[in-house]
Amino acid sequence: MYKNIKLFAGLQMLLLLASTQLACTQSSSTGGGADNSKVLATVNGEPITENQLVANLETLMGKKQAINQLKAAERRKILESMVMSRLIKQQAEKGFDKTQLSFYEQKARVYKEKIIVNDYLRENITSAPVSNEMVAEYYNKHPERFGAEEVLRYELLTTQHKLSEADRNQLLSVYGEIQIASEKTSDMQTLKNNIAKKGIELSYQKSVLRPGALNVQMKAILKQLEPGEVSALSMHKGRPYIFKLLERLKKPARPMSEVSAQIRKQLAPVALKKAINEQMEKLEPGAKIEYL
């Protein structure tokens, strides 16, 4: 079992290393300069160099400082993984035709360009820090993203089942008469009893509007009501709905002090994109760009 775990870990390392070697091993075919660094190993005559090892280590570890602290035995393990990766690559290429080889050369070019662009942006683009004013503006524009919401408390008369066509027509016929006769009562229990006298039993509910509680059409009706107002009779999928809005409660957003770090994190890419666009505005006038 321990041997299988080591093999699995080794294969994961190979996959990661292979993604970097895609660019490294084809630098000559993609316009890169000659690699004159020390040759550390050869695989069927194909060299693996110090520069390629360092490139892989930077992909794995990120910081050159950490790379310099690697022990010789650890560098050796990475080199052995690169040898295995190179051997697999050579075996795979034996079955490639020109189209497949060209496809991977294009992928290498794309990968190389991405690395160059990322390194250039990291070294040359400095975005302005996210200011307190930017944080406050975002917070005030999007309070709902930080817990602010309008809570609606309401009463509802409805049924748990679809009405028969006869009951539906009866309810539609008598509802207006009942409201006129009772001078449009806003007491839902009284309204329920008056409808029951006409032979139609409705159930009474008292609730708070929550996500998923009502369909879009019913939510729209409820949100249009003023506190204390009773809605007209509405039908949806054979069921009657009569709402009374009790009150609107404003649930405040979390304090800005609690979410400012989150907002800065969200705005950081926006600031970076702005800095990149400014750089592009400087580069484009001197470039000849044609879309064909």
pLDDT at residue 186, as a whole number = 77
What angle (nearest 5°) sits at the alpha carbon of residue 150, between those of residues 149 and 152?
A: 140
> Could you tell me the two tokens for 146?
């930080």
Burial class (CB in 10 A: 0-12, 13-18, 19+), 48: buried
Q: What is the pLDDT along the chain (292 residues), one digit of tens a residue?
A: 434 434 434 444 444 444 455 445 544 444 455 788 999 999 999 999 998 988 888 877 766 656 777 788 888 998 999 999 999 999 999 999 989 989 999 999 998 899 888 888 888 888 778 899 999 999 999 998 998 888 899 999 999 899 999 888 888 888 877 776 555 667 899 889 989 988 889 999 999 987 667 888 888 999 999 999 999 899 999 999 999 999 998 889 999 999 999 999 999 888 888 888 888 888 888 888 888 8
Ordered domains of the chain (ranges, CATH): 2-124 (no CATH), 132-141+254-285 (no CATH), 149-251 (3.10.50.40)
pLDDT at residue 243, as a whole number = 94
pLDDT at residue 86, as a whole number = 93
Query: Residue 126 and residue 128: Cα distance in Å, rounded?
Result: 7
pLDDT at residue 59, as a whole number = 77
The DSSP symbol for 158 reads: E
Q: Phi and psi of 49, rounded to 5°? A: -105, 170
pLDDT in tens, 197-229: 888 899 999 999 876 678 888 889 999 999 999
pLDDT at residue 214, as a whole number = 82
Query: Residue 209 and residue 214: Cα distance in Å, rounded?
Result: 8
Strands (E), 87-238: 149-158, 203-208, 234-236
Q: Give the global pTM.
A: 0.47
pLDDT at residue 110, as a whole number = 93
Residue type, 159: T
> Could you tell me the two tokens for 179?
């409201």
